[in-house]
C-alpha cells in the first residue's frame, strides 16, 4: 500500500486491465487468484476489480515460500511435493 494506506492508482488500473482484458471476467464467473503472501495488495485489488466486473465468487489462494522452506528444512516429505491434495474450493 502507499504511505497513505490506499492502493496506488497504477495498481488499481493494472488489476482492472488484467481482469477486464486479460481474463475477460464475465458476470457470475468464478475467479481464482493465486499468489504469494507478499502480493496480497495486488490480489485484493484484483479481487475488487473482478467483483466490480461481475464475478460471482473470487477465491484467493496464498502461498508462503518461507513456510515451504521450513517444511523442507525439517524434512517434511509433503513439503517436497510440487503441490498438495488440498481442495482449495472446498
| Confidence label for 89 from pLDDT (cuts 50, 70 and 90) | very low
Backbone angles phi, psi at 76, to 5 degrees: -70, 110
Comparing CA positions, the residue from 42, 82, 1, 64 lying closest to residue 33 is 42
Cα–Cα distances (Å) from 68 to 36, 37, 41, 42, 86, in that order, read 12, 12, 21, 22, 15
The pLDDT value given to residue 68: 81
The pLDDT value given to residue 82: 59
- Please, which residues have CB within 8 angstroms of residue 67's CB and are 6 or more apart in sequence? none
Judged against a pLDDT cut of 70, whether residue 39 lies above it is answered with yes
- Mean pLDDT, rounded, of the chain: 85
* pTM: predicted TM-score of the whole model, two decimal places: 0.76
- Angle, helix 9-17 to helix 40-52, in steps of 10 degrees: 60
Amino acid at each position: 500500500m502507499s504511505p497513505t494506506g490506499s492502493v496506488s492508482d497504477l495498481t488499481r488500473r493494472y488489476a482492472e486491465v488484467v481482469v477486464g482484458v486479460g481474463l475477460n471476467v464475465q458476470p457470475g464467473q468464478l475467479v481464482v487468484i493465486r499468489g504469494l503472501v507478499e502480493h496480497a495488495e495486488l490480489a485484493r485489488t484484483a479481487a475488487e476489480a473482478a467483483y466490480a466486473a461481475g464475478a460471482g465468487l473470487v477465491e484467493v489462494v496464498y502461498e508462503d515460500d518461507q513456510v515451504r522452506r521450513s517444511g523442507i528444512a525439517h524434512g517434511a516429505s509433503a513439503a517436497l511435493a510440487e503441490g498438495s491434495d488440498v481442495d482449495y474450493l472446498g
